[in-house]
Structure 1
Amino acid sequence: MEAPHSWCDVRFTDLTEMSRCLDPDGSLGGSTLEQHILAWCGVLVDPDSEEDELRHRQWSTHELWFHERSRRYGREHAFGGTFWAKDKFAPPPLRPAGAGNTVPFGPTDPGRWHATSTSLHTVLEDRRSTRRHDDSTPMTRARLGEFLYRTARLRLEREVDGVEYGSKPYPSGGSVYEIELFLLIRNVVDVAPGLWMYDPVVHGLAPVREGLEDPSVAALLREATHSSTVATAPQVTLLMAPRFGRILWKYEQMGYAVMLKHVGVLMQTMYLVATDMGLAACAIGSGDSDLFSRATGLDPLECTTVGEFLLGSPHPDEPFQERPA
């Protein structure tokens, strides 16, 4: 038994022993002494004794547990990049298996993009969340390709001790780059609507589901529209789906927390590039991983969504929110 902020964990010899110790009314023979011991260990708390303060009430059990267990502290021994699976399982490859049917975007022109790019100061100050898209002038395939090239392409690949590592425009702990990008495309010129996966090696799109008629795909689009708080469906929904084994093969305890940090830095990278390109961008705070699993057919224990990002051409009637001086 373990609890956040307790100074130790408690181990029981069997379930009967645990039930006896936790028995609140003595019907199973539990003793006051045993419950005092659990309270002393910090794993059994009398709710009536807690102060009615925000610092207690603001934490849900799972969030406080996650916070403590994903940080290094006294009771944790197997923590960090331990490579615990090295002699048990083969390291997951950098490139996902489903990227074989990729349709490349074609030639790129980074020099032209650099010549028209604004300063870092400007994009940081101009960055804002824009939810409404202009379907009369939707984003083009070329513009989508530029956005993905500048945010998520694989710049470098190398192998060390049998493990594949990479480099992309955003940072990743241990250079593992576990996040795969799936694109739910509704309205992009020269790209068929449907669910696609971005191949960062070839710099292209691999088909996952054609069209938007599949019930799970349609539900994903409705979910993104609802989360955006506007009535019009987004032109593109980027679904950030880590292949968990890429990072959990190496890291213990802290792996999922690191994935969430990667989602954050990728979102900021997308925001800044979208701002520089004059595109409408908006990170959304929630999504439906179960719908994603049904739409893709992927095992949710191996790969599913942990972040979503909307992208499109900005609507001319979107009200401008004044930035601070």
Structure 2
Amino acid sequence: MGTGEDFIINTRYTGPVETDQTRGIPPPPLEEDFKGKIIPLPDPDIGTLQSLDISVAIESRESIRNYRDTPLHVEELSYLLWCTQGVKWIMEDCTFRTVPSAGARHAIDTYLLIKNVQSLQPGLYRYLALDHSLGIISEDTGLADLVFRGGMNQQCIQDAALCFIWVADSYRMTWRYGERGFRDIFLEAGHICQNLYLSSQAVNCGVCAIGAFIDDELNNLLQVDGEKKFVLYMASVGKMPDFDGEMV
């Protein structure tokens, strides 16, 4: 039996399960504290963006791997972050956001490789959803080459204005659901990325989801342990090409 089959078997429900929540253990923080310089993001002013019919957005959804060498405005990035993980309101031990998450646990953090966004230095950032701001991890321009290599030299990473890198903080989910929570984390990643695909059309951007990468290289780069916290998904983003880009 393979690893995939083992995962399905080991995360099956056969009845009520005991978890840290049922044991009375307090929940983990909604978001890990960030120690470093923080940049507030502008409000995601949806009223100033291109009007987009949801039916048209769904029908038009496709993966775009080629991009114009044109920067995104920071207001556009703010909008994409709000659409993918924006916090609408906060309760004591959970948040309600623009994407669904099992039990409102929201066990995924967004890291960003910024390469070509106006008003932001190239580098590695973390989205701080509770305050709608960016934490600067590093402004080392050499990080782009490391992400490109960790992303198995895919050209869309090299050409993108920025890359979303989604990191699971598994205990936020398993605290409530036990091992079953790992299934919920992967489902949540799909919800987030689909919102990125749809919302990107309002700012004339293309997106390509990326599931192939060298796990250890990206985990080490983002300084996560690869077990409790790990990179699970990526997406390249850039301005739509003037010609027909490679699409799937």
Is the pair's TM-score, using the shorter chain for normalization, greater than 0.5?
A: yes
After superposition, give the CA deviation of every residue in 1:278-318 in whole Å (9 maximum; x if it has no partner): 21111112223322332232333332211111111122233
- Asked whether 1:129 is paired with 2:70, we answer no
Offset at 1:88? 7.0
Offset at 1:208? 0.9
CA distance in 2, matches of 1:70, 1:166: 25
After superposition, give the CA deviation of every residue in 1:235-283 in whole Å (9 maximum; x if it has no partner): 2110110111101111123111111111111111111101232211111
Counterpart selection for 1:201 from 130, 133, 142: 130
Within 5 A, what are the aligned runs for 1:42-57?
none
Aligned to 1:146: 79
CA distance in 1, matches of 2:175, 2:26: 9
Counterpart selection for 1:240 from 154, 159, 166: 166
Counterpart selection for 1:83 from 1, 19, 29: 19
Within 5 A, what are the aligned runs for 1:180-191?
180-191=109-120
Q: Contact between 2:36 and 2:136, CA under 8 Å: does it hold in 1?
A: no
Offset at 1:153? 1.4
Counterpart selection for 1:97 from 27, 33, 54: 33
Counterpart selection for 2:5 from 64, 67, 73: 64
CA distance in 1, matches of 2:189, 2:198: 14
TM-score normalised by L of structure 1:
0.69
Aligned to 1:169: 98
Taking only aligned residues, the RMSD between alpha carbons, in angstroms, comes to 2.4
Counterpart selection for 1:286 from 206, 209, 212: 212
CA distance in 2, matches of 1:156, 1:62: 38
Q: Contact between 1:242 and 1:259, CA under 8 Å: does it hold in 2?
A: yes
CA distance in 2, matches of 1:265, 1:91: 23
Aligned residues: 248
| RCO higher in structure (CA 8 A, sep ≥6) | 2
CA distance in 1, matches of 2:241, 2:35: 33
Percent sequence identity over aligned pairs: 22
Q: Contact between 2:36 and 2:137, CA under 8 Å: does it hold in 1?
A: no
Counterpart selection for 2:46 from 100, 110, 114: 110
- Asked whether 1:218 is paired with 2:145, we answer yes
CA distance in 2, matches of 1:266, 1:231: 19
Q: Contact between 2:63 and 2:207, CA under 8 Å: does it hold in 1?
A: yes
Other structure's SS at 1:299 match: coil
CA distance in 2, matches of 1:289, 1:225: 10
After superposition, give the CA deviation of every residue in 1:29-67 in whole Å (9 maximum; x if it has no partner): xxxxxxxxxxxxxxxxxxxxxxxxxxxxxxx61111112
Q: Contact between 2:151 and 2:214, CA under 8 Å: does it hold in 1?
A: no
Pick the structure with more strand per residue.
2
Aligned to 2:226: 300
Other structure's SS at 2:190 match: helix
The 1:223/1:295 distance shift into structure 2, 3 A limit, reads: closer
Structure 2 alignment gaps of length 5 or more: none
Aligned to 2:238: 312
Structure 1 alignment gaps of length 5 or more: 1-59
Offset at 1:96? 1.5
Which has the greater radius of gyration? 1
